[in-house]
Structure 1
Amino acid sequence: MHVEINGNRLTVEVLGDGPGKPTMIVHHGAPGLGSHTEPLASFGPFADAYRVVVFDARGSGTSEGKPPFTHEQWASDVDGLRAWLGAERIVMAGGSYGGFVAMEYAIHYPSRVSALVLRDTAADSSNQDAALRNALSSARVKVDREKLDRIMSGTVRDDADLRDCWAEILPLYDHDLDWAKVRERVAATPYRYETHNFAFAVNQPSYDIKAKLPGITCPTLVTVGRHDWITPVECAETIASLIPGAELVVFEKSGHSPQLEEPELFQAVVRRFLARVA
């Protein structure tokens, strides 16, 4: 369905809608590349116990793309969704860049968050340096440095160029490389280069919320794949050390996407956490 939130039309899907269920909003990663299809697959199973809401963020997927594409605006859109749903409080979940937004939401709307679930994310832009080193030293593929620099710095030329750059780095993401899955993902990705460029050229260089993390008071689960090349384990360790009482779980057979690479274990970990803090 399409819902107008803060003057911008969003593509939204609600699963498990029913009386008495708590609400979970899940934010996808990769602005300009991501969409609700990933959290739909990984958090859809939680619709047995939660009203699960997934959506294409402003400027991504098939949602309208009215600027600005700032963290503040994306967090405000989450709160607009919460209000549209009529939920007083939500479980906020987000992975990768969606984790940036999830943490920003918990920082700016603390009274609205009952629990926070983070996956393969970072609290500042230092992961960019680690990602560059990991990509260039990979024994799996030889990455085109020029394409890597364009996608990491938010200077891609158009949607076609974003697609080429995305195809260049996708083989780095999973613990086990499957070229058929890489090709399928390249073909299925919705490309929105203006959103991507703003996120990585404007937002990312100044991104640093470490000083604000100790102010997050809701129960927090931090998850990460052991072999994540772009937001490595040390990024998750930093977040878990700064949010009071946060729980850290490392998935040993995953890269950047344990929710897809070890789905049964990931779901079990999240369910145990939510059952404990509910």
Structure 2
Amino acid sequence: MYVQINGNRLHIEVLGDRPGVPTIIAHHGAPGLGSLAEPRASFGRLADAYRVVVFDARGSGASDDNGPFTHEQWVADVDAIRAWIGAEQIVIAGGSYGGFIAMEYAVAHPDRVSAMVLRDTAADNANQELATRNALESARVTIDQAKFVRIMTGTVRDDADLRDCWTEILPLYDHDYDPALVAKRAEATPYHYRTHNYAFSVNQHAYDLKSALPGVTAPTLITVGRHDWITPVACSETIADLIPQSTLVVFENSGHSPQAEEADLWEATVREFLEEVHATR
């Protein structure tokens, strides 16, 4: 369905919509590249016990492209979705860049968050340096440095260039490299280069939540793949050190996507965490 949220039409899906169960709002990663398909595939598995809300953020997927594409705006959109769905409190979830927004939401709206689930994300922009080193040292593929710089600095020229640069770095993401899967992902990705460019040329430079995370009051599960190249385990360890009620789980046979590469174990881990949180409320 399409819902008008803060002056922008968002593509939203509600899974497991039944009264009396906790609500999860899951934010996808990769602004300008990501879509609700990723959280639908992972958090949608929990729709037997939770009301799961997934959506294309403004400037991504099938949603409209009205700016601004700031963290503040994306956080405001999440809270407007919460109000639209009628939930007093939510489980806020996010993977990769979506984890940035999930943490920003938990900082801005602590009373609205019953729990937080993070996946392969970072508390600041220090992961950029780590990711660059990992990409250039990869034995899997030889990265075209010009394309790498354009996508990582938010200076891609248009949607076609974003697709070209995205295809260049996609082989780095999974624990087990499958060229056919990479080609399929590149084909299925919705491209919004202006959103991507703003996120990586403007937002990333100012992104640093380390001083705010000790004030997060929600119990937090942090999941990460052992072989994640772009937000390595050290990034999740930093988050775990800063958020008081946090649990870190490392998935040993995953890259950036344990929710897909070790889907059953990841689902069981999230279920156990959420069941424990809501059993004490």
The interval holding the TM-score normalised by the smaller chain is: over 0.9
Matches for 1:38-187 after TM superposition, within 5 Å: 38-187=38-187
2:233 is the alignment partner of 1:236: no
Partner AA of 1:260 in structure 2: A
Give the C-alpha shift of residue 82 in structure 1: 0.2
Matched, 1:14 2:25: no
Cα distance in 2 for residues equivalent to 1:37 and 1:223: 19
Tell me the distance in 2 between the aligned counterparts of 1:45 and 1:96.
19
Amino acid at match of 1:117: V
- The alignment status of 1:190 with 2:186, answered yes or no, reads no
Matches of 1:43 and 1:23 in 2, distance apart? Answer: 11
Q: CA deviation at 1:25?
A: 0.3
Relative to the length of structure 2, the TM-score reads 0.99
Distance 1:9 1:156 in 2: 25
Amino acid at match of 1:138: S
The superposition leaves residues 76-119 of structure 1 with CA deviations (integer Å, 9 ceiling, x where unpaired) of: 00000000001000000000000000000000011000000000
Instruction: Give me the whole-angstrom Cα distance separating, in 2, the residues matched to 1:234 and 1:71.
Output: 23
Deviation at 1:53, TM superposition (A): 0.4
**Equivalent-residue separation in structure 1 for 2:220 and 2:39 (angstroms):** 18
Q: Distance in 2 between matches of 1:195 and 1:11?
A: 16
| Deviation for aligned residue 1:277 | 1.0
| Helix, strand or coil at the partner of 2:24 | strand
SS in 2 for 1:210: coil
Runs of 5+ in structure 2 lacking a partner? none
- Shift of residue 19 of structure 1? 1.3
Distance 2:201 2:268 in 1: 37
Shift of 1:65: 1.1
State the Cα deviation string for residues 27-66 of structure 1 (Å, max 9, x = none).
Answer: 0000000000011111111000000000000000010111
Q: Deviations over 1:176-227 (max 9, x none)?
A: 0011110000000000000000000000011101000000011000010000
**CA–CA separation in structure 2 for the residues paired with 1:270 and 1:43:** 9
Deviation string for 1:230-262 (max 9, x for gaps)? 000000000000000200000000000000000
Tell me the secondary structure at the aligned position of residue 147 of structure 1: helix
Aligned length: 278
2: CA distance, partners of 1:35 / 1:277? 28
Aligned amino acid, residue 51 of structure 1: R
Structure 1 residues not aligned, in runs of 5+: none
Q: For the residues of structure 1 that align with 2:109 and 2:65, how far apart are their CA atoms?
A: 24
Structure 1 outlier segments of 4+, above 4 Å: none
**Partner letter of residue 193 of structure 1?**
Y
Match of 1:224, SS?
Answer: strand
Instruction: Output the amino acid matched with 2:263.
Output: P
Looking at structure 2, the residues matched to 45 and 206 of structure 1 have their Cα atoms a distance apart, in angstroms, of: 34
TM-score when scaled to structure 1? Answer: 1.00
Counterpart in the other structure of 2:34: 34
Name the Cα RMSD after superposition: 0.4
The residue correspondences of 1:249-260 to structure 2 (distance < 5 A) are 249-260=249-260
